[in-house]
Amino acid sequence: MKLCCTVNGEWCALDDVPGSESLLRLLRERLRLPGTKNACEQGECGSCTVYVDGEAVCSCLVAAGQIDGSDIVTVEGLADGAEAHPVQEAFVSAGAVQCGFCTPGLVVAAHALLAKTPDPTDAELREALAGNLCRCTGYEKIFDAVRIAAGKTEAT
């Protein structure tokens, strides 16, 4: 099938896309956007979180056929050219990147939280990131990063 969409502000027209192909595979393999990570492919880990029409979703659960005409934003699209988004900067300054595999999904999920709730409580923060799994260590540095991005604490 042919489909058209906007990805990170760029108009894309794609041919010969199987309708059942996942948005995750389309982003990584056809559009060469490796920031969105492929981990569980079951919507359980959140590593592939992207925005579709302003909603954060697991791209592994979205069929390419569903995105015709949509606006897609990946972790690459949050940055302003070479300048990282404040949420991305907060993850670096808090040391929340660890191995980095889960980081893109967590950054998009944190960005989505702060867009809706600029001053989240710790309970709201934990609830918002509950769908994103990190297998390296604990979540405290990740929570610190979101607090830094929300302006609730200083970078360490």
Summarize pLDDT for 126-154 with one digit per residue, the tens: 999 999 999 887 899 999 999 999 987 65
pLDDT at 104: 96
Q: Which CATH class is domain 3-76?
A: alpha beta
The CATH 1.10.150.120 portion of the chain extends over 86-150
What is the pTM for the complete model shown?
0.93
What is the topology classification, in CATH, of domain 86-150?
DNA polymerase; domain 1 (1.10.150)
Would you state the pLDDT for residue 153? 64
| DSSP character at residue 71 | E
pLDDT for position 136: 86
Is 113 within 8 Å of 120 (Cβ atoms)?
A: yes
CA distance 30 to 41: 17
Q: Which of 41, 45, 25 is nearest to 33 (CA)?
A: 25
Q: Give every residue of the chain whose pLDDT is below 50, as ranges.
A: none
Secondary structure class of 108 (helix, strand, coil) = helix
pLDDT attached to residue 137: 75
CATH 3.10.20.30 range(s) for the chain read 3-76
